[in-house]
Amino acid sequence: MSNASTSNDRDFKITVFPGDGIGLEVMDAAQAVLAAVQDKVGGFCLIHDLHDAGAGLYRDTGTALSEESIRAAEASDAILLGACGLPDVRYPDGTEIAPQIDLRFHFNLYAGLRPCKAIPNGPKALADPRADDIDFILIRESTEGLFAARGKGVVIEDREARDTMVITRDVSERLFDFAFNLATQRKAAGYPGKVTLIDKANVFSSMAFFRKIFDERAVNFPDIEAEYLYVDAAALNLVRNPWIYDVMVTENMFGDILSDQAAALVGGMGFAPSADIGDNMAVFQPAHGTAPDIAGKGWANPTAMIQSAAMMLDWLGSRHGVDACTEAGRLIDNAMEKAISGGLIRTYDAGGSDGTDKVAKTVIELLRSS
């Protein structure tokens, strides 16, 4: 039986940026799934406030993210984002149109969560049977690191170029506390309780400082194992034995690269959800881009977008103490997993022929019948 929303529901205002390319397609799918789960569970109501942002908007108006949209986002409870950017639309310096990065900086969303979890019978890159046990979260610091140089790098007389890495104590302390708290929560749910710092402390002062702060914060979490891994070894181990990790935490640029590698382990970008979380706001979006090669064909895999929407419900639920919201997120995850592991869907990027609509419809049917 459906529990339609009532006027007593807890309302959450969500700023929705579908973006460009397949962002629009996967967002439609996620919004349909959100409506279905809200109807199923009841007890909360999402008010979707739709805004244009991205390369298309920049091409048409000269701005990628308007002041009005930023003000709307500031007044909302969470932000849901599809994907932004088009290959032929660039800023004058040649860099990509990426309002998602602007949002991370504007709202201080320092903790970029990139879960990497194998789904039974789902796509996998590794033949080793232990690949079924891959289940870790990579936290990518998302407001500084090498990305702090974005828009500030210099090219000197066409002779040399410089971009500067920034690591601050303030952000690093919050980042590591977030990582250790997450590992503590996961440990209560049966995970090992381990945080792995990925750095390059053997070469860079910035990374040695990063590690020093990690050590200082680790002392406050004696029940959690703290270990280090150089970034080059991390790249190796993510292929060799990724099932040994629980929570990994790293600098912005390293996280950018390694999270794509992690996505490849469990089916690729179409299966890689993400959340950029700060102390007062969060953006939920798939880790993939706008995939111009398949945009408009109906082939985009909306799994990552739908899972990101589930992460949003989980975050809203725990932040505001609304259990119905947390439950709704769990139901979406279960339905998504059931659809894949039960062989009900096989998307194009996993070698099948099920498009965006088929995935959304299957997940919605499973939600209704759960």
Q: Give the interface with ligand ATP as residue ranges (CB under 6 A).
A: 22, 26, 85, 269-270, 288-291, 293-294, 300-301, 304, 349
Instruction: Classify the phi-psi angles of 181: left when phi > 0, otherwise alpha if psi is within -120 to 50, otherwise beta.
Output: alpha
Quick check: 135 and 108 in contact, CB under 8 A? no
| Residue 138, token pair as written in the block | 């990579």
* CA proximity to 171, closest of 155, 148, 194: 148
* Nearest residue to ligand ATP on Cβ basis: 289
| Residue 124, token pair as written in the block | 């996998």
| Residue 151, token pair as written in the block | 């828009």
Nearer to ligand ATP, 234 or 269 (CB): 269
CB of 28 vs ligand ATP, minimal distance in Å:
13
CB of 302 vs ligand ATP, minimal distance in Å:
7
For helices 22-41 and 356-369, what crossing angle results, to 10°? 10
Nearer to ligand ATP, 22 or 282 (CB): 22
Nearer to ligand ATP, 269 or 364 (CB): 269
d(CA 148, CA 167): 9
Nearer to ligand ATP, 57 or 300 (CB): 300
d(CA 277, CA 293): 30
Residue 222: what are its φ and ψ, rounded to 5°?
Answer: -65, -20
| Residue 235, token pair as written in the block | 């790249």
Q: Residue with structure tokens 């914060």?
A: 217
* CA proximity to 206, closest of 137, 254, 238: 254
Nearer to ligand ATP, 18 or 317 (CB): 18
CB of 301 vs ligand ATP, minimal distance in Å:
4
What secondary structure letter does DSSP report for 53?
A: -
d(CA 184, CA 187): 5
CB of 269 vs ligand ATP, minimal distance in Å:
4
d(CA 83, CA 74): 20
CB of 87 vs ligand ATP, minimal distance in Å:
7
CB of 90 vs ligand ATP, minimal distance in Å:
12
Nearer to ligand ATP, 14 or 22 (CB): 22
d(CA 342, CA 338): 5
CB of 281 vs ligand ATP, minimal distance in Å:
22
Nearer to ligand ATP, 46 or 287 (CB): 287
Nearer to ligand ATP, 228 or 348 (CB): 348
CB of 274 vs ligand ATP, minimal distance in Å:
11
Question: Where in the chain does DSSP place strands (E)?
Answer: 10-19, 44-50, 78-83, 111-117, 135-141, 154-156, 160-162, 194-199, 225-230, 247-250, 273-277, 282-286
CB of 217 vs ligand ATP, minimal distance in Å:
30
Nearer to ligand ATP, 90 or 319 (CB): 90
d(CA 276, CA 293): 26
